Amino acid sequence: MSYFDAASAAPLHPVARQALLAALDDGWADPSRLYREGRKARMLLDAAREAAAEAVGCRADELSFTPSGTRAVHTGIAGALAGRRRTGRHLIVSAVEHSSVLHSAEAWEADGGEVTRVPVRRTGAVDVESYEAALRPDTALACLQSANHEVGTEQPVAAVAEVCRAAGVPLLVDAAQSLGWGRVEGGWSLLTASAHKWGGPSGVGLLVVRKGVRFAAQGASDERESGRAPGFENLPAIVAAAASLRAVRAEAEREAVRLRALTARIRARVPELVEDVEVVGAPERRLPGIVTFSCLYVDGETLLHELDREGFSVSSGSSCTSSTLTPSHVLRAMGVLSEGNVRVSLPTGAAEADVERFLEVLPGVVAGVREKLGAPVPATAVRSEETVVDSLGKRCPIPVIELAKVIGTVPVGGRVRVLSDDEAARLDIPAWCEMRGQEYEGEEKAERGTAYLVRRTS
């Protein structure tokens, strides 16, 4: 089995396993106690904090260990907003942040705060000017991921941090995807990360709050982890997380070169091997191991199941997956095709032979899914120069398939009205038009669902 979903969770690094087993023997006691076993546990905890802080590029007393990366995000955002409540109640996030950041933003809005969601370009990157324009006198906090978890695009963190610093606004950086590859540059104020992203054990997050940043931890707290993560520390997991972070950093430069070559091969070969594919994300400013593409006329969930049958574990931000029937917020914000979406995220040590086998298998799998899905005869009715495609009750990619089948029967300059009640069509039909060189005229409310208007231009 070829595991190609390291962006979700990286396999446990051998160093993490060794450190975990050792810490289970030596780090089981309460590190806050003064007796011998407690002192030994405290030494392990302090050493882990020093190692993690060195990797991040911060002071050890600025770093706290949390029960997860998500908890680090929630604690960091809530604490920073509370610490600057006299400044105002305005929060800035990008439209492609991890769901943990967006959930915190939604909770802030529900509590009466204001949130500005900064849009991104089609590559998934924000414009620094857009962040600068979003800053206000009452802005309490801005958030920006270091790199996107779905498409791998790196964000201009250093430049955004500079405009935030000039405005006196702290910047929280979600570095979950990138920290294993290197430090986050720039004058950020808070940082979060998660150990299972770099080959550490799950259940360990990092929260860094720079000295001088106003911060007020919310909820019940105790004396542990500067009051930011109450409760008994999972010391063996913390030790393993710090050890594995140091280990992957030692390998990062060499491994990044190798994985960039493999993902560049996938980015170049997939459009050659499979028709009607859009490779998404920035072509250059991207993480080494992630490549994402979307296939027209393919059910994303079926595609992932078929790849799993062939021995490949990949993930998807598609509209058609078992967890959701709507496109991912990342693909939606980028305005790219969502149907048949595949994210390949290679783990450290991924074999070139496995990538080659993936490229050999993919064309047949896509063709098989397209054949199984079929292309139902569209229900059409002609109204002067307008053709109506009734796709109500049909999930994407069926509305797009029906649009593709009928567009050739419409005279150049004629219009197709696609009726659909699937939310994914709002993203996939405009993306199809861009890929096919047709004009998307917008949408109208219909008696049932929504009417999407497409003008044939060629």
Q: Would you please indicate which residues are annotated as catalytic (active-site) residues?
A: 320
CB 425 within 8 A of CB 457: no
**H helix or E strand, kind and range, residue 66:** strand 63-66
Provide CB contacts within 8 A for 390, sequence distance 6+: 378, 379, 380, 381, 419
Tokens of 144: 């920006």
Burial class (CB in 10 A: 0-12, 13-18, 19+), 369: buried
Provide CB contacts within 8 A for 37, sequence distance 6+: 28, 29
- φ and ψ at residue 192, rounded to 5 degrees: -130, 155
Tokens of 393: 């009750």
Provide CB contacts within 8 A for 256, sequence distance 6+: 181, 288
Helix, strand, or coil (residue 36): helix
**Bridge partners for 439 per DSSP:** 455
Provide CB contacts within 8 A for 127, sequence distance 6+: 121
Give the separation between CA 98 and CA 144, rounded to whole angstroms: 10
**H helix or E strand, kind and range, residue 383:** strand 380-383
DSSP notation for 174-242: E-TTTTTT-PPPS--SEEEEEGGGTTS-SS-EEEEE-TT------SS--SGGGGTS-S---HHHHHHHH
C-alpha of 162 from chain center: 24
The CA-atom distances, in angstroms, between 173 and each of 112, 138, 189, 237, 250 are 23, 20, 8, 23, 23
